[in-house]
Structure 1
């Protein structure tokens, strides 16, 4: 018999233990060791069987045990200390408070997934983990962030394996009452209900659950409520599930419903409404459309006027360099869903327009709605500027207004406690969150090589124990019997070089590249003097049979009795498993098809634990590989045949492992310590560790994007009247209507002579025709630099040209160009729109060149 619904019944907490309820509902416990220690002390055995889930522990601990603890003075003192620490953490002035009153007082952060803890399984992979780390770091810095997402009643999925190695998906039914979340209620105690209009006069309703992530509130919308018809109840059933119609409803609820949930939450709590809205990928794009609708209703703005007001305060982050990873809906579907929404349909469709006129592109909408946009590593910024260059025709890729902020990871979540206590994240410069400029974890220099090595061995041994446990469980779940799983007790070895590979399994991440030469891989695994062992994990999207085939191939290879004690594919990859991998692996392998890895934060987490990266120079590794923190796998970028490219790069991996990684790991001094290896570990902790911090990332977002966006939003609102937004919209319409007539009629250069020499100057004079426009509407620039054989400029410098004289619509501009370098030199003149409200000269997407 199957239960209709499930829920959790908890014991009533005695009065002295009531503060436990406060602690369990603030997810700071997921990265605060002292709070976790306190929950473990409730019942150590129960803690172990509950997998370190304090919510589950509180739900299952006996009333008798609670009564005993309520009289235990020592436990109560510990409880009070932890409660006091949390109170101080929640109220203290932190880094953000030092920015003063001009910094935005409230920032909204929208994401389709959030990876905070395995206890709240609302994530599928790197995007969600990044979003979770963003919230945690914002909390640690005191940034007034509010997260907005969806509460998926079945999460992503739980992964299993069939007897023949095929991925199996199981969708557990999550009870919000058994999760560390609280229902948002109005002043009368009734649940707040958010509504989003749908076609055919239907309405999508949602409750709002709030998770407290340290100082940051995370609002999660849930459609599985009685107010909805059966179809609408299923909108938040699974993460990334369903057909196009289902996905569109999810993204409408996230964007439109998310804004409405924010309004309700701020109204109920008295918090300021957000000034800045950050859309983490295109899934959240409709938040901008809802804000436009709000302004047309509340202030009578036209769509273009409201668009200017909304753009100023919007930040858009793109995460995928793979076009297939971008959400694209049939334009007809958008027309059907938004026909009566309250904004002009033609202008809404223009936001998502792309080359295919039948499609609506969510990334394009995100870029058109966000005045500021970024990729998530320097290389990904370059890739994104190339990928989206058609949105800014006439501009060089370097001018496309997409910057980059390299991702980071939350150290307190991902670093082994033993390493933190050893001092690997101490800096003589002070708290890294408060230091301007580069930081070094120089505390690691005081740690003896033997002590650092022994700690790494301890963590490797812990990983081996976890691998053995999971291998046994997996074998039994795939049909083995007890008498067949004894081999798992001795699988893996705490003294063997351990390499980790764990991530999602799309084709470009190349899970099976290491199998290109299976015999050579076997030889590495079974080397009698210098063996390696491989721990592999990852999930394929349920609809991606190609990814599942890659997993099956890896599982079947690892099933070989000859090597199964040295290589394992572990199903069920989640935050809980990941920690063991990051703690215990000596080397982190990453071999994506360059440049399709946006960032690759798993390698960052390994680095924080002293793991050395062995990676293709893609994502973050392209900018922060320094020759001492690991090894760069040479790429075969010029090889067109994909099989040939895989073969070349796989051979490079085998060669690096056999000629550099293995020898360095197994080369020991008289004390049994691999001195050169430990120095690489020390260098990684000291130099790479501070760079990969999520606190550094969030500071970059605040300083480079959030604060400027808040200034733009305030300038457009002008105290709530939005006069500048109206004026700027009219100005831009006028500019664009007349831009087609702008022409650089003539350019002449004088002063350099027949044989220009370094140190001389070039006087440029340009004639520009401006019918319908004035010099105040535009900026004329001289652009100069190196020139190649095709007359393309490189290393371009631009300087403004001064208005000299006018004759009707003809205007003359002048500038002096210095000749500062030898070699081939070139110049040109270009005309750009001018406005005090432009964040970037390319923002309007128009330029006229000579």
Structure 2
């Protein structure tokens, strides 16, 4: 048995000595550990790394996904292929802790593995698995696929994370003052605590909640009878649950319920905090919703040579290093696609999770105008797309394939596969422009642009999520003007697609080629302004000061 005192290789900073358990369905700590899908995981991974650097008394609780999210590959015709392969990790420590929980009225055994802090310089991370011989095959599959498409499996995964994680803390004998839910997936943890402490007030004084989804449709919910049959409520009766959280119309919304069971909650940007308060403020019994803007760990993401050149104000060294990083990215692109890019050419990257609202194909909305820009030999551009659609989101997969078919004959445009931490780092370091064009108010934070800015890539973005807190158009970033809120989504897409091309044609491309000194000023301002506020050290500190301080 691992003793709680043996988990940390450091003495706690007194400011951060309160014991916290951080529950998240995914963690992107480092490339070899493939237990994440996108921004939620990237955020959680940076949080653990900064908690380690600040010597915080915080541990992570997650799930060891046997098949990960999925492996993104290509079919014979180069369209997207989804593959699921078993993964094993020799760098995880088997704690030899096995304990039972109840799922769907049956006993399911849970095994705990530990990612020790010294492996990737992160706070300790416990990962739970049901893929062990003590369970039948159905129970083993609970921890196979991150965000499994089957409804009952998804519910079982939440029970594993929430009740399994809370049980593990008791098995370890670790004092835990704050249970922090990073999104609503771990909600059953609250019912475990209700069963344990019997009083709502006792639960609320221990629970903090971070919400990431600015759309009601994106907040998970299920029928009460189904959740009850799945043992979601850890032995509480439906009447008891109704008394505690009064679900609407027999349906339990995870986010709304978390807001009723937590002492304090936060959105992940100032704009998202406002959106969340508007979304949920009229519901009774919810907690205070503040805003703590997301951030990313600079130590992990930034290139030291770029940092040093900026510190010395050495433009030539900065330009030279950027070209080296572009060459490294272009080797990756050439290896995948057979297209060899030029480090002297303005390079635009759109790379993030493929979801409809993120509009990966907005650049192609006016295809003839796009081709005019793509085929301009006097002021050439190179464009790279990357990202993973949800494996059952066929509309998003079709967008991925559409981009491939529309650009496959253009030697300077391509879409690459395998958007994980390693490729993400290459794309941020090797791009000149980091493109972000979601529908307004749909992106809670959108942290990828932060790490791009750390690596001398200039943001071109819709003013959503974190961007309004950072961007100054033409000084450290470029903003895509948004359409009138009253228009239809289709009309907005058309107008904002034109506005995007306008900024490229009239401002970015001319500045890059005709006024390199001005371009370099924008690059340096972007690198300077993104720090220290958008480094995860500020965020991890702010969580202790504001979210855990009750």
TM norm. shorter chain > 0.5: yes
Deviation of the 1:354 alpha carbon: 4.5
Question: Secondary structure in 1 aligned to 2:109?
Answer: strand
1:529 has 2:440 as partner: no
> Aligned residue for 1:691?
533
> Aligned residue for 2:158?
251
- Write out aligned runs for 1:197-236 (5 A): 197-200=102-105, 202-213=106-117, 214=121, 216-236=123-143
1:106-159 Cα distance to aligned partner (Å, 9 max, x none): 110000001111201000000011111100010001111110011110000001
> Aligned residue for 1:681?
523
Question: Secondary structure in 2 aligned to 1:569?
Answer: strand
1:330-383 Cα distance to aligned partner (Å, 9 max, x none): 21112213399432432324555444x131111112111111000000000011
1:322 has 2:215 as partner: yes
1:375 has 2:267 as partner: yes
Cα distance between partner residues in 2 of 1:166 and 1:666: 34
1:384 has 2:270 as partner: no
Cα distance between partner residues in 2 of 1:452 and 1:340: 56
Cα distance between partner residues in 1 of 2:127 and 2:44: 13
Cα distance between partner residues in 1 of 2:243 and 2:35: 32
Which among 441, 448, 453 is matched to residue 314 of structure 2?
448
Cα distance between partner residues in 1 of 2:216 and 2:393: 16
Deviation of the 1:215 alpha carbon: 5.6
Q: Any conservation in 2 of the 1:471–1:568 contact (CA below 8 Å)? A: yes
Question: Secondary structure in 2 aligned to 1:453?
Answer: helix
Task: Count how many residue pairs are aligned between Structure 1 and Structure 2.
Answer: 540
1:747-782 Cα distance to aligned partner (Å, 9 max, x none): xxxxxxxxxxxxxxxxxxxxxxxxxxxxxxxxxxxx
Q: Any conservation in 2 of the 1:235–1:250 contact (CA below 8 Å)? A: yes
> Aligned residue for 1:756?
none
> Aligned residue for 1:196?
101
> Aligned residue for 2:304?
417
Cα distance between partner residues in 2 of 1:147 and 1:509: 29
Cα distance between partner residues in 2 of 1:372 and 1:340: 21
1:682-708 Cα distance to aligned partner (Å, 9 max, x none): 1111122322101111111111111x1
1:582 has 2:460 as partner: no
Question: Secondary structure in 2 aligned to 1:263?
Answer: helix
Question: Secondary structure in 1 aligned to 2:116?
Answer: strand
Cα distance between partner residues in 2 of 1:314 and 1:339: 18
Sort the Cα spacing of 1:350 and 1:456 in 2 relative to 1 into closer, same or farther, 3 A. farther
Deviation of the 1:649 alpha carbon: 0.4
Cα distance between partner residues in 2 of 1:688 and 1:158: 32
Cα distance between partner residues in 2 of 1:351 and 1:169: 41
Q: Any conservation in 2 of the 1:353–1:359 contact (CA below 8 Å)? A: no
Q: Any conservation in 2 of the 1:607–1:689 contact (CA below 8 Å)? A: no
Cα distance between partner residues in 2 of 1:406 and 1:530: 37
Which among 478, 484, 490 is matched to residue 631 of structure 1?
478
> Aligned residue for 1:640?
487
1:171 has 2:76 as partner: no
Question: Secondary structure in 2 aligned to 1:505?
Answer: coil
Q: Any conservation in 1 of the 2:200–2:244 contact (CA below 8 Å)? A: no
Q: Any conservation in 1 of the 2:51–2:123 contact (CA below 8 Å)? A: yes
Cα distance between partner residues in 1 of 2:122 and 2:488: 51
1:438-470 Cα distance to aligned partner (Å, 9 max, x none): xxxxxx3x3222222222222122211221112
Q: Any conservation in 1 of the 2:21–2:61 contact (CA below 8 Å)? A: yes
- Write out aligned runs for 1:347-746 (5 A): 347-349=240-242, 353-355=246-248, 357-392=249-284, 401-420=288-307, 422=308, 424=310, 444=311, 446-472=312-338, 488=339, 491-559=340-408, 561=409, 563=410, 565-627=411-473, 628-668=475-515, 674-706=516-548, 708-709=549-550
> Aligned residue for 1:82?
none
Q: Any conservation in 2 of the 1:166–1:549 contact (CA below 8 Å)? A: no
TM-score computed with the length of structure 1 as normaliser: 0.62
> Aligned residue for 1:724?
none
Cα distance between partner residues in 1 of 2:487 and 2:94: 54
Sort the Cα spacing of 1:576 and 1:340 in 2 relative to 1 into closer, same or farther, 3 A. closer
TM-score computed with the length of structure 2 as normaliser: 0.94
1:240 has 2:147 as partner: yes
- Write out aligned runs for 1:56-71 (5 A): none
Cα distance between partner residues in 2 of 1:340 and 1:111: 19
Question: Secondary structure in 2 aligned to 1:529?
Answer: coil
Cα distance between partner residues in 1 of 2:462 and 2:234: 47
1:495-527 Cα distance to aligned partner (Å, 9 max, x none): 100011111111100111111111211111221
Cα distance between partner residues in 2 of 1:362 and 1:145: 24
Question: Secondary structure in 2 aligned to 1:614?
Answer: strand
Cα distance between partner residues in 2 of 1:277 and 1:340: 17
Sort the Cα spacing of 1:212 and 1:322 in 2 relative to 1 into closer, same or farther, 3 A. same
Sort the Cα spacing of 1:419 and 1:289 in 2 relative to 1 into closer, same or farther, 3 A. same
Cα distance between partner residues in 2 of 1:379 and 1:340: 33
Q: Any conservation in 1 of the 2:103–2:159 contact (CA below 8 Å)? A: no
Cα distance between partner residues in 2 of 1:518 and 1:353: 50
> Aligned residue for 2:71?
158
> Aligned residue for 1:182?
93
Cα distance between partner residues in 1 of 2:452 and 2:266: 25
Question: Secondary structure in 1 aligned to 2:113?
Answer: strand
Cα distance between partner residues in 2 of 1:545 and 1:361: 25
1:694-746 Cα distance to aligned partner (Å, 9 max, x none): 1111111111111x13xxxxxxxxxxxxxxxxxxxxxxxxxxxxxxxxxxxxx
1:258-311 Cα distance to aligned partner (Å, 9 max, x none): 01112223x3xxxx411111000000111111122122xxxxxxx3xx210111
Q: Which is bigger in relative contact order (C-alpha 8 A, separation at least 6)?
A: 2
Which among 327, 337, 347 is matched to residue 230 of structure 2?
337
Sort the Cα spacing of 1:349 and 1:163 in 2 relative to 1 into closer, same or farther, 3 A. farther
Cα distance between partner residues in 2 of 1:174 and 1:371: 38
> Aligned residue for 2:3?
none
Question: Secondary structure in 2 aligned to 1:390?
Answer: coil
Q: Any conservation in 1 of the 2:432–2:457 contact (CA below 8 Å)? A: yes
Cα distance between partner residues in 1 of 2:381 and 2:527: 23
1:509-556 Cα distance to aligned partner (Å, 9 max, x none): 011111111121111122121111111101111111111111111111
In structure 2, the gaps of 5 or more residues are: 1-5
Cα distance between partner residues in 2 of 1:280 and 1:286: 13
RMSD: 2.0
Sort the Cα spacing of 1:258 and 1:654 in 2 relative to 1 into closer, same or farther, 3 A. same
Cα distance between partner residues in 1 of 2:102 and 2:422: 39
Cα distance between partner residues in 2 of 1:400 and 1:662: 47
Cα distance between partner residues in 1 of 2:349 and 2:232: 50
Deviation larger for 316-325 or 376-385: 316-325
Deviation of the 1:166 alpha carbon: 3.8
Question: Secondary structure in 1 aligned to 2:530?
Answer: helix
Question: Secondary structure in 2 aligned to 1:309?
Answer: helix
